[in-house]
Structure 1
């Protein structure tokens, strides 16, 4: 084992200093495990999508690039579970320049037209660029996940609406481009999680367009607090409170105390819990938000001396 590298290697690589039969015996004993067909790694090395991508770099042929969910993950954007019915560790691989889609059982292959300037290298692996990856996902995924991907690429890679305009034009006629064009206009890099993107998009779909992400406001006795989505002028807050966000009981208790303090200061909270993006949960919180706007509408909006830019609280920053 001494001469085996700690990164993926071809099982037939002469540089290992072992004949292929001895390497196969190591696989049979469990000292080496297969990552992809023909590629192994020391058993002690933890599995990851990056490991599989490094393995793919050894066996993918010319004109094959990692794309879609796998490319997003390699760019540091982890926004969804990947394509339904497949594990997140199955590589999405696009064959370009007219080449056949890969038939490897450990890859999800497709054929796609990808320009040379839409391919980059991440850890030595040919990958679609952040812009191209975001565009592909915006066409191929459902609206919520697509919005989350666009927001995340804008936040992490500065791929904003302006950057997408040439790609939208190029994708004219492609399946999914209508959704892509619509969502590009709604990109907001302030969203910090996929669920926040889902929440903002769903609220906007129901006509609540004055809600902004990551609103910071001063609360007496609590200091500066930050809200998932809020209409600062009307003091209406919308937050996601699913089990995937609040597994910590202390964090949950802290959030409830924060909200109680803000309610005393004139805020209204609408909290979306797990299952809130399907019926009947969806209608419940949309109705609550509609009621909040009816109670805190333009005509009845309260004025506070300690509003933004005035009063006794300290300046932010």
Structure 2
């Protein structure tokens, strides 16, 4: 087990116990914690907003000490009986890793909090965590944990594409090829790497049951917030959206920024940009985890800022549970 995986699993275990001291002991002194920021795209940009948005829970970049202090202040009152964190899958790198996690707790308001996360951990040479990047369903987080205040809409400027390693395994190259085809609006080429019985998962906003990872979702229920659906249904929905004039650009231009590959699992951190038909700029940040087998991509799990999707693309973030 790599240092990154050990540190990441220990972090999730400490989070599950509610041990803020345990979290602090796992981190380097200058460690940071990032969560995306909904419609406030600038607030989630670590370069343009190095102090974050100042808005909990969708806070952008925070120093680990400040994040833990906030959790110490809010946590006991917010979740009187705790909030469980159960690791599900790990994509291992030597100095970084991705851990998919399911969280569950009862908020002080009586609302059930049932989020699904992908945590990206970076560690230093000693195995101390230097960075935590947390991808989760921001609609659900804001609904249960947010203070109800409006989030302003801002835009950002994504940095230039980084150079990715040239010696990536074939599974990683097949996943990266998806985004070249999507940027050109070529959905037939986009579909080619998927296995015939592949599925696509994305979380489901207010309707937590639809987004369960081991249940059938519903592509027709509320646009992109569909849970696990067959790839044929997902592609049909994508073709309909591209053909509807929703985009002034060909489709969404996705820029991969980091790849972590481990046997048959491939994780890709990326940014996405599109000009919508009404002139608005769609600017999301993603973490995809792909299961890749001999017959192609078997499942794609998409973590992104769902609140930004809803706010920009005209979907209802308040669909009843």
TM-score calculated relative to the size of structure 1: 0.21
Q: Highest CA radius of gyration, 1 or 2?
A: 1
The structure in which a higher percent of residues are helix is 1
What TM-score do the two structures reach when normalised by structure 2?
0.21
